Amino acid sequence: MTNTSKPSKQELFASVPVPKALLTMAVPTIISQIINLVYNMVDAFFIGRTGNPYMMAATSITLTLVMMNVALANLFGIGGGSLVARLMGVSKNEEAKHVSAFSFYGAIAIALLYSTLIAVFLTPLLRFLGASDATIGYARMYTLIVVVFGSLPAILSQVSAHLLRNTGFSGQASTGLSLGGILNIFLDPLFMFVIMPKGQEVTGAAVATALSNTIACLYLLFALRKASAGSPLSMRFADARAIIPNNIRALFSVGIPSALLTGLFDLASICVNILASAHNDLVLAAMGIVMKVERVPNAVNIGICQGMLPIVAYNYSSGDHRRMQDTINTARNSGLAVSFLCIVLFQLFASNVTRFFLSTSAGADPADALQTIAFAALFLRIRSFASPVQLLNYHTSFCMQAMGKGKETMLHAFVRELFLYIPLMFILDRVFGETGLAAALPVAEACASVFALWLLSRTIRKSKSQTA
């Protein structure tokens, strides 16, 4: 009689055919990434219905502060999650339980610290990020609600999802993250146009986002507690205290580079905003629109890479390098297909896509909205060429994180952002203006991807020789 039972978590990582295993892990993650992308876009979409480019510029400024939640979540989510998967690969489930609990309480501590610092330095920080007199009021209110009051549930949600995903509970992780996105889709118009008075749409969007994140966090905490009954997951403080020093070092050796990678990406976004705002608020608003739209292929590709990570980590730890390499290749080819498709679509429909985010009839000055859309369409056509080489860079980083190669991950992050992207955006902006600023991304990512492919190949060869 044929056995049609669902494979165990260990079988999924170790023996299920690679395409099926990757599909099982990646599809829920991609869905949650897309839904969360939509929920991040919902704020921009509904704020765009006001026709006010200054509100749009304000949310572009605050985006980097919101995305810092992702960087801080990666510290314990990817650092702890990848270590848990590697410990499972060598059957050290009790140590994995201690790591998961340590990651959980570490997330709480780092979220509270970040919220406090933002609260203390809120106004000068927003000015530094490019807020003008016309945008700082909107930016201040959005940051206060979404970051100062909302970072704890946002960071805790992401860390819980990483821990669930890396122990095989990809569906539960994706359901929790998707729940926040779906709620925000419905709560945004309710708070922006029904509950809050006219002129307070940014405040309404912020309240809806913070509330959605909180509800998603509660679901993920419930899922984490339920999963801990039969897996190496824990929320017990006693387990967090029992973690051994070697595992703390192993967690941070991957978590810190991962956080720095995202943090450096946010630093690059800050530089983009500063340079764009130096042109004018319309260029800043246009760049903000594009930085949301271009996240569509990025969201799919990051979902593929996140689904890949625990499989690579498990097989790297268990010594099955053939399966590890098959997983790496399958994930890379899938991501490249998505990237090239998105280039074609963005070239054809750039104006339609960007117009979706800003009304040309609702605002006080339709000419400003039309100019913003024209800038955004141009920037999107230029920056879309970065998609396939961005995939190669994301893919390399996730592979090295899965293998516990923190130093290599950090080296790649510094080369990619500090030595290539940030200097190039200043140089090209100075030479070619706002068009050069947009072109800096594909140029830098292409250069970084060459380095990334060499670094990953070198890392895999070294690990195979050490195993042999």
3-class secondary structure for the chain?
Answer: CCCCCCCCHHHHHHCCCHHHHHHHHHHHHHHHHHHHHHHHHHHHHHHHCCCCHHHHHHHHHHHHHHHHHHHHHHHHHHHHHHHHHHHHHCCCHHHHHHHHHHHHHHHHHHHHHHHHHHHHCHHHHHHHCCCCCCCHHHHHHHHHHHHHCCHHHHHHHHHHHHHHHHCCCHHHHHHHHHHHHHHHHHHHHHHHHHHCCCCCHHHHHHHHHHHHHHHHHHHHHHHHHHHCCCCCCCCCHHHHHCCCHHHHHHHHHHHHHHHHHHHHHHHHHHHHHHHHHHHCHHHHHHHHHHHHHCHHHHHHHHHHHHHHHHHHHHHHHHCCHHHHHHHHHHHHHHHHHHHHHHHHHHHHHHHHHHHCCCCCCCCCCHHHHHHHHHHHHHHHHHHHHHHHHHHHHHHHHHHHHHCCCHHHHHHHHHHHHHHHHHHHHHHHHHHHCHHHHHHHHHHHHHHHHHHHHHHHHHHHHHHHHHHC
CA distance 241 to 64: 33
Which residue is it, tokens 């130093």? 407
Question: pLDDT at position 196, please?
Answer: 85
In angstroms, the CA 366 to CA 124 distance is 31
Most trustworthy range by pLDDT among 8-22, 173-187, 233-247? 233-247
Unique residue bearing structure tokens 């998609």: 387
Q: Is the pLDDT of residue 35 over 80?
A: no
Range in 198-207, 378-387, 441-450 the model is least confident about: 198-207
Contacts of 454 (CB under 8 A, 6+ apart): none
Alpha-carbon distance of 52 to 264, in angstroms, equals 30
Rounded CA gap, 6 and 168, in Å?
12
Structure confidence at residue 15 (pLDDT): 79
pLDDT above 80: residue 128: yes
CB 387 within 8 A of CB 446: no
Q: Which residues of 306-341 are buried (b: 16+ CB within 10 A; e: fewer)?
A: bbbbbbbbbbbbbebeebbebbbebbbebbbebbee
Identify the band that residue 3 occupies on the pLDDT scale cut at 50, 70 and 90.
very low
pLDDT confidence of residue 1:
37
Give mean pLDDT, residues 351-378.
76
- Of the pLDDT bands very low, low, confident and very high (cuts 50, 70, 90), residue 431 is very high
Mean pLDDT of the chain: 86
In this predicted structure, the answer to whether residue 377 has a pLDDT above a threshold of 60 is: yes
Q: CA torsion, points 95, 263, 64, 69, in degrees to nearest 10?
A: 10
Q: Using an 8 Å Cβ cutoff, are 453 and 399 in contact?
A: no
**Tens of pLDDT, residues 151-203:** 999 999 999 998 998 888 878 888 888 888 788 888 988 998 889 888 888 88
Higher-scoring residue by pLDDT: 205, 368: 205
Q: How many CA atoms lie within 13 A of 130 on its CB side?
A: 29
**Which of 97-106, 299-308, 329-338 shows the lowest per-residue confidence on average (mean pLDDT)?**
299-308
Residue 434: name the closest of 384, 390, 387, 378 by CA. Answer: 378
| Rounded to 5°, angle at Cα 78 from 72 and 82 | 160
**Which of 48-52, 146-150, 280-284 tops mean pLDDT?**
146-150
List Cα–Cα distances, 391 to 340, 384, 386, in angstroms.
Answer: 10, 12, 9
pLDDT of residue 82: 85
Reported as a pLDDT band with limits 50, 70 and 90, residue 2 is very low
CA distance 79 to 101: 13
pTM confidence score: 0.73
- Residue 468 pLDDT class (50, 70, 90 cuts): low
Distance between CA atoms of residues 87 and 313, nearest Å: 9
pLDDT score recorded for residue 5: 56
Backbone angles phi, psi at 121, to 5 degrees: -110, 25
Q: Using pLDDT thresholds of 50, 70 and 90, give the confidence band for residue 40.
A: low
Read off the pLDDT band of 467 (50, 70, 90). low
Unique residue bearing structure tokens 């509270």: 112
What mean pLDDT do residues 113-134 have? 89
* Alpha carbon distance 274, 448 (integer Å): 23
14-18, 70-74, 322-326, range with the lowest pLDDT: 14-18
Cα–Cα distance measured from residue 203 to residue 197, given in angstroms and rounded to the nearest whole number: 10
CB of 216 closer than 8 Å to CB of 196:
no
Q: In angstroms, rounded to a whole number, what is the distance separating the alpha carbons of residues 176 and 181? A: 9
Please state the length of the chain: 468
| Closest CA relative to residue 132, chosen from 273, 271, 289, 290 | 273
Could you tell me how far CA 209 lies from the centroid of its own chain?
16
- pLDDT interval class at 91 (50, 70, 90): confident
Q: Which amino acid is at 259?
A: A
Indicate the pLDDT class of residue 39, thresholds 50, 70 and 90: low
pLDDT score of 148: 93
